[in-house]
Amino acid sequence: MNFPLLTVTAAVPAVGAILTAAVPASRRTAAKWLALLFSLATLALAVLVAVRFEPGGDRYQLTESHAWIKDFGVRYELGVDGIGVALIALTALLIPFVIGAGWNDADPLETNSSRWRPTQGFFALILMVEAMVIISFEATDVFLFYVFFEAMLIPMYFLIGGFGDRAHSGTDENAAAQRSYAAVKFLLYNLVGGLIMLAAVIGLYVVAGNFSLQEITAARAAGTLDMATNTERLLFLGFFFAFAVKAPLWPLHTWLPNAMGEATAPVAVLITAVVDKVGTFAMLRFCLGLFPDASKWATPVILVLALISIVYGALLAVGQRDIKRLVAYASISHFGFIILGIFAMTSQGQSGATLYMVNHGISTAALMLVAGFLISRRGSRLIADYGGVQKVAPVLAGTFLIGGLATLSLPGLAPFVSEFLVLVGTFARYPVVGIIATVGIVLAALYTLVLYQRTMTGPVKEEVSGMRDLRLREVLVVAPLIALLIALGVYPQPLTTIVNPAVEHTMSDVKQTDPKPEVAVEAKNGEAAK
User: Which residues are registered as beta bridge partners of 75?
Assistant: 67
Distance CA 270, CA 423 (A): 27
Distance CA 225, CA 210 (A): 12
Spans of all domains in the chain: 5-513
Residue 511, Ramachandran bin (φ over 0: left; ψ between -120 and 50: alpha; else beta): left
Percentages of the chain per state (helix, strand, coil), in multiples of 5: 75, 5, 20
Q: Say if residues 401 and 488 touch (Cβ distance below 8 Å).
A: no
Distance CA 438, CA 108 (A): 46
pLDDT value of position 25: 78
Distance CA 271, CA 256 (A): 8
User: Which residues are registered as beta bridge partners of 522?
Assistant: 528
Q: Say if residues 31 and 20 touch (Cβ distance below 8 Å).
A: yes
pLDDT value of position 173: 66
Helix, strand or coil for residue 414?
helix
DSSP-derived letter for residue 462 is G
- Cis previous bond, 292, omega within 30: no
Q: Say if residues 240 and 298 touch (Cβ distance below 8 Å).
A: yes
Kind and range of the H or E run holding 79: strand 74-80
DSSP strand pairing (61-69 vs 528-529): unpaired
Q: Which amino acid is at 129?
A: V
Classify burial at 409, counting beta carbons within 10 Å of its beta carbon; exposed 0-12, middle 13-18, buried 19 or more. buried
- Residue among 208, 239, 235 nearest 224 (CA): 208
Distance from chain centroid for Cα 122: 20
3-class SS letters over 363-412: HHHHHHHHHHHHHHHHCCCEHHHCCCHHHHCHHHHHHHHHHHHHHCCCCC
Residue 388, Ramachandran bin (φ over 0: left; ψ between -120 and 50: alpha; else beta): left
In degrees, rounded to 5, the angle at the alpha carbon of residue 415 between the alpha carbons of residues 445 and 353 is: 115
Q: Say if residues 78 and 140 touch (Cβ distance below 8 Å).
A: yes
pTM score of the predicted model: 0.90
pLDDT value of position 464: 80
pLDDT value of position 168: 55
Classify burial at 461, counting beta carbons within 10 Å of its beta carbon; exposed 0-12, middle 13-18, buried 19 or more. middle
Helix, strand or coil for residue 453?
helix
- Residue among 356, 487, 463, 339 nearest 419 (CA): 356
pLDDT per residue of the chain (530 residues) written in tens, 0 to 9: 578 999 999 999 999 999 999 888 778 888 899 999 999 999 999 999 999 999 888 889 998 988 888 878 888 999 999 999 999 999 999 999 999 988 887 776 554 444 445 788 889 999 999 999 999 999 999 999 999 999 999 999 999 988 876 665 455 567 777 888 888 999 999 999 999 999 999 999 988 888 888 888 888 877 778 788 899 999 999 999 999 999 889 998 889 998 888 888 899 999 999 999 999 999 999 999 889 889 999 999 999 999 999 999 999 999 888 899 999 999 999 999 999 999 999 989 999 999 999 999 999 999 999 999 998 888 888 888 888 888 888 999 999 999 999 988 899 999 999 999 999 999 988 999 999 999 989 999 999 999 999 998 888 888 888 888 889 998 999 999 999 999 999 999 989 999 999 998 888 888 878 787 766 555 555 554 44
Distance CA 344, CA 306 (A): 11
The sign of the dihedral angle between the CA atoms of 340, 343, 348, 352 is: positive
pLDDT value of position 519: 62
Tell me the Cα Rg of the chain: 23
